[in-house]
């Protein structure tokens, strides 16, 4: 297991970002409830500024090289949960397999419920960004984004889309669901970048 709980040192002096409170619970927040899915119908796709567009079934995705990370989770609503154990596919693995082109600069994540969020490609390649399908050794629960969510320990969690079905590599930034509604594009918890 890769321990990333000291990742905060690159952003601030305290593990708990300003304005956050630590919780042992894992609250559930979403824009419109938990969408339904089946392993037989779910597909993960990669397209945009890539040389090799990809498509994986649920089983194929779970067969990709995976890592387990211990990392912290920060919600923009003010709570943080320490020592979360996520298992999944590192973002860099998808970049390598898709042959992301030089002009790609941003990444748009797409979800089953229509949710989208954008991050720069360089931020997606930072340590800890993971397509997670297991949480604490068990399949990621549906209300927490199962079958697949992105975790972004250096960002507020709205940058880590739940119920992910696809990744689009972009040549310029686009605003996602919450960014269009006034949330910060940068979303750095240690700088309290909650809103734009």
Residues 114-140 have pLDDT tens digits of: 999 999 999 999 999 999 999 999 999
Q: Are 148 and 94 in contact (CB under 8 A)?
A: no
Q: Two tokens at 86?
A: 């996520």
Confirm whether 26 is domain-assigned: no
Q: Is the pLDDT of residue 168 over 80?
A: yes
Residue 58 located in a structural domain: yes
Count, in order, helices (H) and strands (E) of the chain. 3, 12
Give the pLDDT mean for 76-102. Answer: 97
CATH of the domain at 183: 3.90.420.10
The answer as to whether 186 is a domain residue is yes
pLDDT digits (tens, 9 = 90+) for 21-56: 999 988 676 667 789 999 999 999 999 999 999 999
Asked if residue 120 belongs to a domain, the reply is yes
The total number of structural domains that make up the chain? 1
What is the C-alpha R_g of the chain?
16
Q: Which helix (H) or strand (E) holds 44?
A: strand 43-48
Asked, for residue 21, whether it belongs to a domain, the answer is: no
Would the CA dihedral through 119, 10, 3, 92 be positive or negative? Answer: positive
Residue 74's domain comprises 40-191
């Amino acid at each position: 297991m890769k321990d990333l709980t000291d990742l905060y040192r690159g952003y601030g002096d305290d593990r708990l970002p300003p304005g956050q409170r630590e919780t042992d619970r894992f609250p559930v927040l979403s824009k419109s409830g938990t969408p339904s899915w089946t392993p037989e119908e779910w597909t993960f796709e990669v397209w945009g500024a890539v040389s090799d567009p990809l498509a994986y079934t649920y089983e194929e995705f779970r067969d990709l090289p995976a890592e387990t990370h211990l990392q912290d989770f920060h919600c923009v609503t003010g709570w943080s949960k320490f020592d979360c154990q996520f298992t999944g596919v590192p973002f860099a693995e998808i970049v390598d397999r898709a042959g992301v082109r030089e002009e790609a600069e941003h990444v748009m994540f797409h979800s089953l419920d229509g949710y989208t969020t954008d991050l720069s490609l360089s931020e997606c390649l930072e340590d800890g960004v993971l397509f997670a399908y297991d949480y604490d050794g068990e399949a990621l629960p549906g209300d927490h984004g199962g079958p697949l969510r992105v975790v972004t320990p250096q960002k507020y969690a709205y940058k880590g889309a739940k119920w992910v079905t696809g990744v689009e590599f972009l040549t310029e930034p686009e605003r996602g669901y919450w960014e269009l509604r006034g949330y910060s594009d940068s979303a750095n918890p240690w700088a309290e970048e909650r809103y734009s």
